[in-house]
Amino acid sequence: MEAKTTSPRQTQKIAQELGKTLKSGEVIALYGDLGVGKTVFVQGLAHGLGIKRRILSPTFVFMRSYPLILKGKPLTFYHLDLYRGQSMQDFKALGLDEIFEENSIVVLEWANKIKNILPKKRIDVFLKIIDEKTRAIEIKKY
């Protein structure tokens, strides 16, 4: 799926629609430069999943988790921002093996940093800045 948006609201709307289709165990990898709208996208995604809490950028803590009930089943929504991670050691310390599991939904900003350890079955979302308010969004499911 490819789209162009001209406001944060519109980007959230697309993310929200994707959020409504997510199932437990899914991994969503976000790619794109600083300020492109990855966190804006995650906010829409969380909204689509029915998460009411405000989604803050986890940049300084790497990861935030949110409890979620999906089709009556308790799950955890993990929001990671790998921007500040330098080494594989940093990423191993997050215990990714434990969060890429059946009862979680994981969304990662700067997913390219751990490209070689991302699960093969995932949804990739590529974001590009076209101009101040315009973003190109491409969603690919594997």
Ligand X SMILES: Nc1ncnc2c1ncn2[C@@H]1O[C@H](COP(=O)(O)OP(=O)(O)O)[C@@H](O)[C@H]1O
Binding site for Mg ion (CB under 5 A): 38-39, 57, 109
Please report whether residue 133 would count as binding ligand X according to CB under 6 A: yes
Beta bridge partners of 135: 5, 129
Report in angstroms how near the CB of residue 104 gets to ligand X at its nearest.
21
CA distances from 16 to 43, 52, 119 (A): 8, 13, 23
**Of 37-45, 47-55, 66-74, 115-123, which segment contacts ligand X by CB under 6 A?**
37-45
**Of 8-16, 19-27, 69-77, 89-97, which segment contacts ligand X by CB under 6 A?**
8-16
Q: Decide: residue 81, CB within 10 A, 0-12 exposed, 13-18 middle, 19+ buried.
A: buried
The one-letter amino acid code at 45 reads L
Report in angstroms how near the CB of residue 38 gets to ligand X at its nearest.
3
CB atoms within 10 A of CB 26: 17
Q: Which residues bind ligand X (CB under 6 A)?
A: 5-8, 10-11, 32, 34-40, 57, 109, 133, 135
